[in-house]
Amino acid sequence: MSPMTYHRPTTLGQAKELSQTLENAVFMSGGHTLLPAMKQDLATPDHVIDLSHIGELEAIRVDSNDLIIGAMSTHVQVATSKIVQELIPALAGLAGSIGDRQVRQRGTIGGSVANNDPAADYPSAVLGLGGTIITNLREIRADDFFVGLFETALEPFEIIIAIRFPTPLSAGYAKFKSPAARYPQAGVFIARFEGSVRVAVTGAGQSGVYRLVQLEKTLLESFVDGAAANLEISTENLIEDMYATKDYRANLVRMMTSHALKHMGTISIFK
């Protein structure tokens, strides 16, 4: 790892100031994406601004019918939160299924969402639930946030403060994990609201998380678990890599969609 200087601000204001005054600086939350990248010299910042000691970025709370999760909430905090388990159990389950136990102790929702790894779990929940990303500058709807491969609508040094999730009538998540890398080769998050259904797929798309818009319309008319059985999944823009071909992934998307539909309210993990 190249030499760098570590900074530990304790307020958002300090973090913002550091990011504006330091050259070649990056933010770090759990560090479980950044540090592996730095160890391989894929990222070579001169300054690392650790956001994990800023108290105002934690906290999980309810506001009217919305669940608000602080950006620094770790995966284990979200997974074990009674509030999340009660309001959106599929979200708690998803958080509890990320990586492994040690990764979950450090990884954060803010870090995961800001990174937008095409194989990460959280983007499917944020897009599937139609969440809102609250930053220190503005609020960004999920549909506008996930722009492309590892790319989001965030400005340089815009800091995610929290993510707001509307409470669905029900939600479900199913994923097929690569047993070695532990990332989803296909993960499907389905959320049902009064008047709308959203289906978001992660792990499969070349540009990251995306919605199955046609299926959403079908399910809105009739929410039955057989709706995905003969679903046509386009292989265009699906990832083809050492873990799976496009066709295999397309089939996984169909299968995970079926499972999520059949088991709304919980998560299903296949490995």
Binding residues for another protein (CB under 8 A): 1-6, 8, 31-32, 35-36, 38-39, 48, 50, 52, 99-103, 105-106, 181-182
In terms of CB distance, is 9 or 168 closer to another protein? 9
Residue 12, φ and ψ in degrees, nearest 5: -60, -40
242 CB burial (10 A radius; 0-12, 13-18, 19+): exposed
The one-character DSSP state at 235 is -
Q: Least distance (Å) from another protein to the CB of residue 26?
A: 13
Residues 211 and 199: beta-carbon distance below 8 Å? yes
Give the nearer residue to another protein in terms of CB position, either 63 or 101.
Answer: 101
Q: What is the dihedral of CA 184, 186, 192, 198, to 10 degrees?
A: 120
Comparing CB distances to another protein, the nearer of 177 and 198 is: 177
Task: Pick the closer one to another protein by CB: 147 or 181.
Answer: 181
Q: Distance between CA 165 and CA 168 in Å, rounded?
A: 9
Instruction: Kindly tell me which of 52 and 135 has the beta carbon lying closer to another protein.
Output: 52
Residue 238 beta carbon to another protein: minimum distance, rounded to whole angstroms: 25
In angstroms, what is the minimal distance from the CB of 248 to another protein? 23
Give me the phi and psi of 57, to 5 degrees please.
Answer: -95, 0
**Maximum alpha-carbon separation in the chain:** 57
CB of 74 to another protein, least distance (A): 10
Give min distance, CB of 197 to another protein, in A.
Answer: 31
CB of 245 to another protein, least distance (A): 24
Q: Give 4 or 59: the residue with its C-beta nearer to another protein.
A: 4
CA distances from 173 to 22, 124, 152, 167, 254 (A): 41, 9, 23, 15, 13
